[in-house]
Amino acid sequence: MWEMALRKEVFWGETMRDDRVIEPYFNIPWQSTDSGYGLAETVHKTDALGSYTWTWPVKDYETDFGQLRFPGITIDADKTRRIRDVAEDILGDILQVRMRGGWWWTLGMTWDFIKLRGLENLMTDMLLHPQWVHRLMNFLCQAVHRKLDFLESHGLLSLNTEGTYVGSGGFGWTTQLPAPGFDALKVRTIDMWGFAESQETVGVSPVMYKEFIFPYQKTILERFGLNCYGCCEPLDKRWEYVRTFPRLRRVSVSPWSDVERMAEFLRGDYIFSLKPSPVPLAQPRLDEDAIRQELGKNLRQTRDCRVEVIMKDNHTLGGNPQNAVRWVALAKEEAGNL
């Protein structure tokens, strides 16, 4: 894993040549275990890298909800120390070895909801069992708060304000964090970027999103100094609620979004995190004209915005890794043509 990580850094700097900053650090995560919720989904798949289904454990709220437990984190300090010592011995003369815990990707909670209850059930329960949706979302919200409290009080959080990938795209560079009163020995959530999304409710009306999802996410994001929101779900229909998240700075604009409308909403007040469709890169040969046309149109639509362009969600690259390299070159050219 370490060799792969270092080779990627070399490839990124020498071949990819986009705007990502290569930093002189080698990050080591804490070795830990998570006790889970007491109930867990059963995953069914036929291919390790393919699609899958799962059987959710909360089949009946009345009988199963009481079996849920708040997760607990256990740190293996000895194993963590041994791994760090090895990294220092191998790399310490050329890179600064740092502890950096990747404790979450999203704090949105709806992913955990559907693993426990099922995707279709999440949507139908809003009509059939609304009180139980609120109870489960409140439980998940309390679990997140407990996790953040534990990480904060034990000094296990790390700043994500430099070259750390935050949210569903983009890096954490900012001069607005950490917050006043910062102590490098005990990073607080208010010193960090927070992130939430709710891709699983893409088929839910804005009003139902406001009732069942938004308030629980808001109480989590209130803890953070700056916030990112959204991933693949289009946010143009939810913007009247999303815009009220505290200290919101980065907003995801996915391939399913109305780019022109989002440009009107965001303008220069937020980072416009533009996510072009990855489909062209999944072909063995790029259709460069189509890529230029889409990028050019989107960049013209967002001229008045603070734009970052992120190509993500690529898996096979059509068997041709040079697709990614060439796409970066095309994107830089189109940006330069404005």
Q: Model confidence over 273-290: pLDDT tens digits?
A: 999 999 999 999 999 999
The per-residue pLDDT for 47 is 87
The reported pTM is 0.95
Phi, psi of 26 (to 5 degrees): -130, 115
Q: What distance in Å separates the CA atoms of residue 42 and residue 125, rounded to the nearest whole number?
A: 21
For residue 238, is it within any domain?
Answer: yes
Q: State the total domains in the chain.
A: 1
- In the predicted model, is pLDDT for residue 229 greater than 90? yes
- Which residue would you say has higher pLDDT here, 251 or 315? 251
For residue 61, is it within any domain?
Answer: yes
For residue 306, is it within any domain?
Answer: no
Mean pLDDT (the chain, rounded) = 96
pLDDT in tens, 93-142: 999 999 998 899 999 999 999 999 999 999 999 999 999 999 999 999 99
Average pLDDT over residues 140-158: 97
- In the predicted model, is pLDDT for residue 49 greater than 90? no
Q: Who contacts 199 (Cβ-Cβ below 8 Å, separation ≥6)?
A: 110, 111, 231, 232, 233
For residue 243, is it within any domain?
Answer: yes
For residue 292, is it within any domain?
Answer: no
For residue 78, is it within any domain?
Answer: yes
Give percent of the chain with pLDDT exceeding 90. 95
Q: Which domain covers residue 162, as residue numbers?
A: 19-41+53-275
- List the structure tokens of 332: 């830089």
Q: Who contacts 139 (Cβ-Cβ below 8 Å, separation ≥6)?
A: 65, 68
- Does the N-terminal peptide bond of residue 178 adopt cis geometry, omega within 30 degrees of 0? yes
Question: 2: closest CA among 86, 100, 101, 82?
Answer: 86
pLDDT in tens, 157-181: 999 999 899 989 899 999 999 999 9
Q: Who contacts 212 (Cβ-Cβ below 8 Å, separation ≥6)?
A: 126, 130, 133, 134, 137, 201, 204
